[in-house]
Amino acid sequence: MSENLRRMLRKLLHEIHQFAEYAEEALDRLEEEVDRLMERAFLREAEAIAHGEAIEPLYNVLVQPDEVRILVDMPFVDERSIRISAHKNMIEVYGEARRPFHLSEISERLTGVCRCYRAAIDLPVDVDTRSTTLRLIAEGLVEIRVKRVRIQRPA
Amino acid sequence: MATLPLDIVRVREQPGLTIVERPYMVVGIPDVGLAGTIAATFIVRKLQLPISAEILDDRLPPIALLRRGLPYSPYAIYGNGNPFVLAPETVIPASLIRPFIRGVIIWALSRGVRSIYALGGIADANRPNVKEPKVFGVVSSSQGLGLLEEHGIRVIPDGYLVGPYAVLVHEARNYGIHVVVLLAQAYYNVPDPAAAAALLKVLSSMTRLEIDVGELIEQGEKIRLAARTLMRRAAAELERMKKTHELEAPPSLYV
């Protein structure tokens, strides 16, 4: 192997090594950022709870070939008060509690009163905003179904 | 040839622990729909089981669980073997699952446990249409298959198991302990007390544990509300350990 080729290989290996180090550092930074954002989300909710504001329900988004199914968990919600507003790729959900309940009923360390639920749920696909349906699964657990927008292919 | 020391977490036992004959263990680790956690916590509360051991490790999150002003590890084992119940009150970091599970198995073996029943959920898109969730089973050895059959539990024949229970069934084979994993159809990231109730019914039929699960259904809304923060943390950890892999078919099924 010529000296020139050897030198080029050494340089290449050095650059690969540098890139690997850079990638590892970038991944570490990304992981830290994700953790920080998640922690901030938990804090925001805790703050909202402390002020007796609406709390964000847990939800699950399932994308199927023809429709999107969204399961929203709102314990103690008054089902007659549930309002849904569909946008191109987002669903907003609002529901009032059957009775305002003190969060201290759940944990002595929580304060505040929950009066309602509110969520703005981003969808990974576009939906037909006029096709929304709502179904009660169990007390406080609802399923929203909305049809996906069909993309017309040119003939 | 030198071997590396086995990486395991430390288990600190409460002094003066007395253990029944032929003890067994129930495990409920935060997972899909928190089905296993809700079930395990329910056993602890209904049977008023005291803490018998705590799992400690410098790498676990620095959290102390306060009970009547006293600090405990949120990773605790309860009871005296009839059953022992491992019911972590927070998630196990994905990077610590192996040493955690190994530490628990080694401690359980040292206390005479030969059977572990692990309770969890299996995400099912059809769950909203199911009133009474079905329970499926996975076992660590062929002897366990007979037990599942005897109790009418459908075995998951092919597919993937991801997370703590995947490690549990693997490690169980290394240590010669029998593991039965019971998985109820559950919502992926919504706490599912009905799935927990289904698990406990099967567990009761398999063991000598008698427990009335009516309260789990009656108090469903309250339980779901109380478990929401843990569910959020568990869902984030499930993402990290690529739990959605369980929904895929293994390559051998394609051909």
DSSP-assigned beta bridge partners for residue A122 = A90
B-chain CB neighbours of A105 within 8 Å are 222
Rg (CA), chain A: 24
Residues A4 and A80 in one domain: no
User: Are A86 and A128 contained in the same domain?
Assistant: yes
pTM of the model: 0.82
Q: Domain span at residue A136?
A: 54-147
Whether residue A65 sits in one domain with residue A138: yes
Torsion of CA A43, A75, B43, A107, to 10 degrees: 40
A129 within some domain: yes
Residues of chain A found within 8 Å of residue B189, distances taken between Cβ atoms: 58, 60
- Using the beta-carbon criterion (under 8 Å), do A71 and B187 form an inter-chain contact? yes
Task: List phi, psi (to 5°) of B90.
Answer: -150, 175
Provide the shortest C-alpha distance from residue A130 to chain B (in Å): 23
> In chain A, whose CA is at the least distance from the CA of B189?
A60
Q: Identity (one letter) of the amino acid at A135?
A: R
pLDDT, tens digit, 9 for 90 and up, residues B204-243: 999 979 999 999 999 999 899 889 888 998 888 888 776 6
Q: Does A69 fall in a domain?
A: yes
Is there a single domain that holds both residue A45 and residue A70?
no
CB neighbour list of residue B74: distance below 8 Å, 6 or more residues apart: B63, B64, B65, B88, B89, B90
Question: What is the SS3 assignment for A41?
Answer: helix
| CATH number of the domain to which A138 belongs | 2.60.40.790
Identify which of A58, A107, A140 has the shortest CB distance to residue B221: A140
Instruction: Please say which residue of A16, A33, A50 terminates a domain.
Output: A50
**What domains lie within chain B, and their CATH numbers?**
22-246 (3.40.50.10900)
What ranges make up the beta strands (E) of chain A? 58-63, 67-73, 83-87, 90-102, 113-122, 133-138, 141-147
* ipTM, 2 dp: 0.82
Query: Does residue A77 sit in the same domain as residue A42?
Result: no
Same domain, A91 and A34: no
Q: Which residues of B touch A62 (CB under 8 A)?
A: 125
Compute the average pLDDT of residues B128-143: 93
Cβ contacts (< 8 Å) between A119 and chain B: which residues?
none
The answer to the question of residue A152 being in a domain is no
**Residue B63 contacts A where some CB pair is shorter than 8 Å:** no
Average pLDDT of the residues of chain B: 90
Domain assignment present for residue A155? The answer is no
Cβ atoms within 10 Å, residue B106: 17
In a domain, A153, yes or no: no
A115-127 pLDDT tens trace: 899 999 999 999 9
pLDDT reported for residue B165: 95
Binary contact (B229, A141; C-beta < 8 A): no
**What is the three-class DSSP state of B3?**
coil
Q: What are the tokens at B25?
A: 């263990």
Whether A75 and B225 lie within 8 Å, measured CB to CB: yes
The string of pLDDT tens digits covering residues B3-21 is 666 889 999 999 988 888 9
Query: A interface mutation test: which of B90, B218, B225, B232 has the most A CBs within 10 A?
Result: B225
Whether residue B231 lies within 8 A of chain A, CB to CB, comes out as yes
Residues with Cβ < 8 Å from B39, sequence gap 6 or more? B28, B119, B196, B197, B199, B200, B203
User: Which residues, in sequence order, are bridge partners of residue A144?
Assistant: A70, A134
Whether residues A44 and A62 fall in one domain: no
Question: Rounded to the nearest 10 degrees, how much is the dihedral formed by the CA atoms of B197, B200, B201, B205?
Answer: 180
Which residues of chain A are within 8 Å of residue B224 when distances are taken between CB atoms? Answer: 73, 75, 140-141
Q: Check whether A144 has a pLDDT greater than 70.
A: yes
Q: Identify whether residues A87 and A125 lie together within a single domain.
A: yes
As for how many domains chain A has, the answer is 2
Q: A20 and A64 share a domain?
A: no
Q: What is the mean pLDDT of residues A45-61?
A: 71
Asked whether the predicted pLDDT for residue A57 surpasses 90, the reply is: yes
Whether A88 and A131 share a structural domain: yes
Give the SS3 label for residue B57. coil
Do A35 and A6 sit in the same domain of this protein? Answer: yes
A66 and A125: one domain?
yes
Contacts with B71 (C-beta within 8 Å, 6 or more apart), sequence order? B64, B65
